[in-house]
Structure 1
Amino acid sequence: MESAFRRGAREGLRDFLPVSVGLLPWAVVTGIAMRSIGLSEIEALGMNLLVYAGTAQLGSLPLIAAGAPLWLIMLTALALNLRFIIFSAAIAPIFHGQPFARRLASSYLLVDGVFAVGAEKLLKADDPQWRWGYYIVPSVFNWCVWQSCTALGIFGAEFVPRDWSLEFMVTIALMVMMLPMVRNRPMLIAALAGGLGAVLLRGLPLRLGVVAGIVIGIAAGFAAERWLLRGEAA
């Protein structure tokens, strides 16, 4: 009989593949963006391996290009990745009792798409081998797609005409990744408030509008969830 790990891996890939389509343009554009601000091919590849977070990479690149202080670059990347604290806390129970090396690898490979499509199934499943296969195989697949497509953008950046304006592809890719996560009212309110706040505050110095938008979104989502819980308890 097929092992539980293989069953979980097959189902995880099947669920994740539709979402992974958005990775292709996003990764290519990220690779091009890293080269466009002056990073060498080696520097861009190194950043891609160490950071492995497209939103943080794209958010910090304008600051790197503008010569912003290191503390601001790190703060921006941290703010853009705060959601992973929530994601990891939400799925932490499925890794209870797992070896440290496995948990460490899982934290590095955690991405929006895998969490969005798989968190609910992972938390409901009882078989640890099935859960491990369901999580790790699509996560490794995501890593391979991201690294290869970003490398394509890095090494092919000089062949892309500058007037093509590929930035819109990143927006589309982010929307594809975000929509599955907006499943309830607090998440929707957080997304709308954060996006609107970032747009309205885009004129802040040192590009702090993005950080401010993130704070507004988190606060709005938290307030909406508390309000709904009070309504249910009343």
Structure 2
Amino acid sequence: MNKQSFWHAARAGMRDYTPPAIGLLPWATATGMAMHGAGLSFAESMGMSIIVYGATAQLGTLPLLVSGASYWLIFCTALILNLRFLIFSATLSPVFSGTRRRVRCLAGYLMSDGVMAAFSARLLAEPDKDKRLGLYFGPSLMNWVIWQLFTVIGILAGASLPGHWPIGFLATISLLTLTTPMVSNMPMAAAAAVTAAVLIVLHTLPFRLGFLLAIIAGMLAGYVVEQYSRKDRHAA
């Protein structure tokens, strides 16, 4: 490996990622406060943050943890919420061509929406393997450190608040704030509407099955509307 090329690209990536990384600060802090508000200890909160390392999965499963849902439902929910990373991985697979397995595993663990959005085009266009790896791992490690640091700040901030303050709702509020901007087209709107409707109807099912079925129904609704939208565009 050409270490000079790697570190030069890593530093350039971290510099360019600084503005988007600022947006992590409130999310990580709110997530830390939400985990504390849900009743998790500091060790449990940090364990979840380090192992799961994903705002959507962390915030999406917290209400299930609080409500006493079964572990398999929590696992399936987190899996579904993270399915987008399969697409991300397939998209970036050429970036890691010829690298060792442990490098690819580390890259998969560190993968994040922010780095994917900010650098995917540059990564795929960069012909030098060492520069590609530096451009990926520099911002990705920066993203991880910022997330964990401000998660700690959020947990400590939540612990300093009076115990009678109802901060458990922060998980739901944070998740809503995170997902609402995504509802910007008809497929996403259909997915959100169907998910909400099915959950309302099926919320009394045992083992919290309503959550899982609502997510699946919403995904199918979004897919169907997307297919019809494509047909209409092609017909026009």
**Normalized against structure 1, the TM-score is what?**
0.81
The equivalences for 1:80-91 within 5 A come to 80-91=81-92
CA-to-aligned-CA distance 1:121-153 (integer Å, 9 cap, x gap): 111111111111111000000000000101111
Aligned 8 A contact 1:37 1:65 in 2: yes
Shift of 1:6: 3.4
Aligned 8 A contact 1:80 1:214 in 2: no
Aligned 8 A contact 1:114 1:138 in 2: yes
- After superposition, the Cα gap between the structure-2 partners of 1:135 and 1:191, relative to the gap in structure 1 and judged at 3 Å, is farther
Shift of 1:213: 2.7
Unaligned runs of 5+ in 2: none
Aligned 8 A contact 1:189 1:224 in 2: no
In structure 2, distance between residues paired with 1:133 and 1:224: 41
In structure 1, distance between residues paired with 2:188 and 2:28: 22
- After superposition, the Cα gap between the structure-2 partners of 1:32 and 1:120, relative to the gap in structure 1 and judged at 3 Å, is same
Identity of matched residues, %: 39
Shift of 1:21: 1.9
In structure 2, distance between residues paired with 1:166 and 1:38: 12
In structure 2, distance between residues paired with 1:218 and 1:18: 33
- After superposition, the Cα gap between the structure-2 partners of 1:21 and 1:199, relative to the gap in structure 1 and judged at 3 Å, is farther
Shift of 1:20: 1.6
In structure 1, distance between residues paired with 2:143 and 2:179: 15
Aligned 8 A contact 1:91 1:123 in 2: yes
In structure 2, distance between residues paired with 1:149 and 1:160: 17
**Normalized against structure 2, the TM-score is what?**
0.80
Aligned 8 A contact 2:32 2:151 in 1: yes
In structure 2, distance between residues paired with 1:123 and 1:219: 30
Q: Partner of 1:38: helix, strand, or coil?
A: coil
- After superposition, the Cα gap between the structure-2 partners of 1:101 and 1:78, relative to the gap in structure 1 and judged at 3 Å, is same
Shift of 1:97: 0.3
Q: Partner of 2:98: helix, strand, or coil?
A: coil
CA-to-aligned-CA distance 1:46-91 (integer Å, 9 cap, x gap): 1111111111111111111111111111111111000000111111
Amino acid at match of 1:16: Y
Matched, 1:231 2:230: no
Q: How many residues align?
A: 222
Aligned 8 A contact 1:22 1:173 in 2: no
Aligned 8 A contact 2:10 2:134 in 1: yes
- After superposition, the Cα gap between the structure-2 partners of 1:190 and 1:135, relative to the gap in structure 1 and judged at 3 Å, is farther
Rg larger for: 2
Root-mean-square deviation (CA, aligned residues, Å) is: 2.9
- After superposition, the Cα gap between the structure-2 partners of 1:89 and 1:225, relative to the gap in structure 1 and judged at 3 Å, is farther
Unaligned runs of 5+ in 1: 183-187
- Structure 2 counterpart of 1:194: 191
Q: Partner of 1:30: helix, strand, or coil?
A: helix
CA-to-aligned-CA distance 1:158-186 (integer Å, 9 cap, x gap): 2236368756555545568x69xx8xxxx
Aligned 8 A contact 1:22 1:174 in 2: no
The equivalences for 1:1-234 within 5 A come to 3-160=4-161, 162=165, 168=173, 171-172=176-177, 188-203=185-200, 204-205=202-203, 206=208, 208=211, 209-221=214-226, 223=227, 227=231, 231=234
Shift of 1:10: 3.4
